[in-house]
Structure 1
């Protein structure tokens, strides 16, 4: 868990205390409309954050699966695949996926096979420069059991998803979007924050 810079003395560090960053964590679900609203606004602030707050602030996208959205797991598996193959493309992939968000809602997928959904997610990854075929290779589920007869085998990013779920549960995040600042939930921030409100909040808190 991150700590505020004013508590930097808690850390055993070879660096100076002035090097300690603030940490802003955004817990977002790819199929949550409110997460899309927050992400899309925040994504436009990247140049401002880079120019005004680097290196004092690190921002972390926390992938937050909400099981009442069955496709949530599938979309976040695609995010995990992108993190494996091209981590520098993760935020661009997320922006593209949020633009296509409604294509992965319940009604949109009710008659689609799981592997077909993976194919469409891989295409979105391909649209931002990630190898589409490699993404699909990490995601696809075999259509027949292996030599050991196992049926419930998951895919090549299942263990990554388990880690993400465990990390969210440890801090007690339930719904998205949820925001943590320096290790503590920041309830003053909502999905309806405008660019101006984000700018004001950052100016007041990242000092």
Structure 2
């Protein structure tokens, strides 16, 4: 992976251009991360793309047993020319069909019979984004390691975790309303637009 590829991938996970930066650490099959992910477009719309910048960070977690495969697939999608749209489509397809990418109680259920190849087929079928050739490239692990390193350097261990302008916000939750998020971001005053 080159520096330009890393920059492109970073852009694929960034929405908006505002001065206020919200890093959101998500595990794609976590129900609370899904709840968070589904609210992000409305948050950006209400805040204004010129005031807020959302950076999605992938927080792979070992108790979500397919996590590593799905995170790798999303990162592969981020390398495409239209990486931002590809990332959104893959993450939304996982969010919309979460039960097909997760185990009951993280340890049992029908997905015990699912192979990694079948999982990749599901990702292609639901998202219509086929990055299996990129998925197979060994260099892709550099992107995975970068995500893990960034989270560890910032003391992130669970998803979803929120960070505003480099500071972890323990009081922010997936259960919050968009209005509560805007208030915590300091973007709830329309006159600041």
Which segment drifts farther, 186-195 or 197-206? 197-206
Partner of 2:121: 119
Equivalent of 2:149, from 159, 166, 189?
166
Residue aligning to 2:61: 66
Per-residue CA distance 1:127-155 (angstroms, 9 max, x = gap): xxx3x2xx122225xxxxxxxxxxxxx85
**1:163/1:199 Cα in 2 relative to 1: closer, same or farther (>3 Å)?**
closer
TM-superposed CA distance for 1:79, in Å, is 0.6
Structure 1 CA distance for aligned equivalents of residues 43 and 20 of structure 2? 17
One of 22, 25, 49 as aligned partner of 2:23: 25
- RMSD of Structure 2 on Structure 1 (CA): 2.4
Unpaired segments ≥5 residues, structure 2: 1-16, 104-108
Residues 24 and 180, structure 1, Cα contact 8 Å, conserved in 2: yes
The 1-side partners of 2:138 and 2:118 are apart by 14
Q: Is the 8 A contact 2:44 2:52 kept in 1?
A: no
Q: Are residues 45 and 156 of structure 1, via their aligned partners in 2, closer, same or farther at CA, if it must alter by over 3 Å?
A: same
Give the number of aligned pairs: 167
SS at match of 2:39: helix
Say yes or no: does 1:76 pair with 2:59: no
Match of 1:190 in 2: 173
The 8 Å contact of residues 28 and 70 in structure 2, kept in 1 or not, is answered as: yes
**Contact 1:118 / 1:139 at 8 angstroms: preserved in 2?**
no
Counterpart secondary structure, 1:98: helix
Alpha-carbon distance in structure 1 between the residues aligned to 2:120 and 2:90: 14
For structure 1, list consecutive stretches of 5 or more residues without a partner in the other structure. Answer: 1-18, 141-153
- Given that 1:35 and 1:177 are in contact with CA atoms closer than 8 Å, whether structure 2 keeps it comes out as yes
Per the alignment, residue 177 of structure 1 pairs with 160
Residues 205 and 109 from structure 1, CA distance in 2 versus in 1: closer, same or farther, beyond 3 angstroms? farther
